[in-house]
Amino acid sequence: MASAAVADEAVQETWVAVFTGVDRFEQRSSVKTWIHRILINVARSKGVKEHRSIPFASVGADLDADEPAVDPDRFRGPRDRWPGHWASPPVPWEHQPEDRLLSGETLAVVRAAIAELPPSQQTVITLRDLDGWTAGEVCNALEISETNQRVLLHRARSKVRRALETHLQDAVA
Amino acid sequence: MIFHRILLRLARDYPCRAFVEAVTDYLEGSMAAAERRRFERHLRRCDGCERYLAQMRKTIDLTGRLTTADVDALGPDARSELMEAFRSFHAGRR
């Protein structure tokens, strides 16, 4: 949101959305979170329409570090006959019954993993996989390149997958 | 024997370690055609990577099941800026 005028407009629309949507308010989310949510969605539509953006200074720092998606120890070493191939392949958990995968306990693991991400990764995975924004919308709103958007999304999703594997592998063994 | 050597060369050319880093490019549809063919060829032959891709898809699915209250959608900087705009607007209306 580069201009104050656009911000004002977003806030105004948020209040309208709050008052018209109060019946749909869910008890389990706090009022603050709920209003914040609406504000973000209004800001998003403003951002896209006005070609403004939300400043997003911390992206550079999050992209600098080398972050492999999978612990390098899980692959075979360079002297192996099959260098870079799985030494310790992923433990299967993805076909576990829905009632376990969708349990509050499992979703709490996803939530905790996202909460631990650096802000830029957290923002990108939330906007993409939770709010359903397109890649283009995220790039536009955060003023980042398509490549950077993908890198942040990749790192975020990879970490959430690791957390799920750690949590669910006990049930498989 | 020649066949075996070709297989070995192909496998070394595209190790699992490269596959797991390319998964998001693949799911985003941002791969060039040649890269995509290499990725899919590896996928057909490697149970570990097939499972890995399925797990990434499941991860995306599960993230989508979180409720709006579960996660703050913006990082602290952008959020505080928006909240500040929100507060000043609110104050101005009183």
Are both A102 and A159 inside the same structural domain?
yes
Are both A72 and A145 inside the same structural domain?
yes
Are both A79 and A97 inside the same structural domain?
yes
Q: Is A63 exposed, middle or buried (0-12, 13-18, 19+ CB in 10 A)?
A: middle
Separation of alpha carbons A113 and A129, rounded Å: 14
Kindly report the nearest CA distance between residue A143 and chain B, in angstroms. Answer: 12
Are both A108 and A23 inside the same structural domain?
no
Are both A80 and A159 inside the same structural domain?
yes
Are both A123 and A74 inside the same structural domain?
yes
pLDDT (0 to 100) of residue A24: 57
Max intra-chain CA distance, chain B:
83
* Cβ(B52)–Cβ(B19) below 8 Å: yes
Structure tokens at A20: 């018209």
What value of ipTM does the predicted structure carry? 0.71
Separation of alpha carbons B56 and B52, rounded Å: 6
How many domains does chain A contain in total?
A: 2
The three-state DSSP-derived secondary structure of A44-74 is HHHHHHHCCCCCCCCHHHHHHCCCCCCCHHH
Q: Which residue has the higher pLDDT, B12 or A55?
A: B12
> For residue A45, what are the domain limits?
1-52
Are both A34 and A68 inside the same structural domain?
no
Are both A76 and A12 inside the same structural domain?
no
Mean pLDDT estimate for chain A: 77
Are both A20 and A95 inside the same structural domain?
no
- pLDDT tens track for A25-43: 554 455 555 565 666 666 6
Calculate the CA A131 to chain-centre distance: 9
Name every chain B residue with its beta carbon within 8 A of the beta carbon of A96: none
B11 touches chain A (CB under 8 A): yes
pLDDT grade for A127, boundaries at 50, 70 and 90: confident
Kindly report the nearest CA distance between residue B31 and chain A, in angstroms. Answer: 12
Are both A74 and A127 inside the same structural domain?
yes
Q: Which of A72, A131, A158 sits opposite B73 (nearest CB)?
A: A131
User: For a pLDDT cut of 70, what percent of chain A falls above it?
Assistant: 60
How many domains does chain B contain in total?
A: 1
- pLDDT tens track for B25-77: 999 999 999 999 999 999 999 999 999 999 999 999 999 998 766 655 444 44
Name every chain B residue with its beta carbon within 8 A of the beta carbon of A106: 62
A124 touches chain B (CB under 8 A): no
pLDDT grade for B13, boundaries at 50, 70 and 90: confident
Are both A42 and A62 inside the same structural domain?
no
Separation of alpha carbons A86 and A83, rounded Å: 9
Residue A76 belongs to domain with CATH number: 1.10.10.10
> For residue B59, what are the domain limits?
2-93
B4 touches chain A (CB under 8 A): no
Backbone angles phi and psi of A106, in degrees to 5: -65, -45
* Cβ(A85)–Cβ(A164) below 8 Å: no
Are both A20 and A79 inside the same structural domain?
no
pLDDT of A131 > 50? The answer is: yes
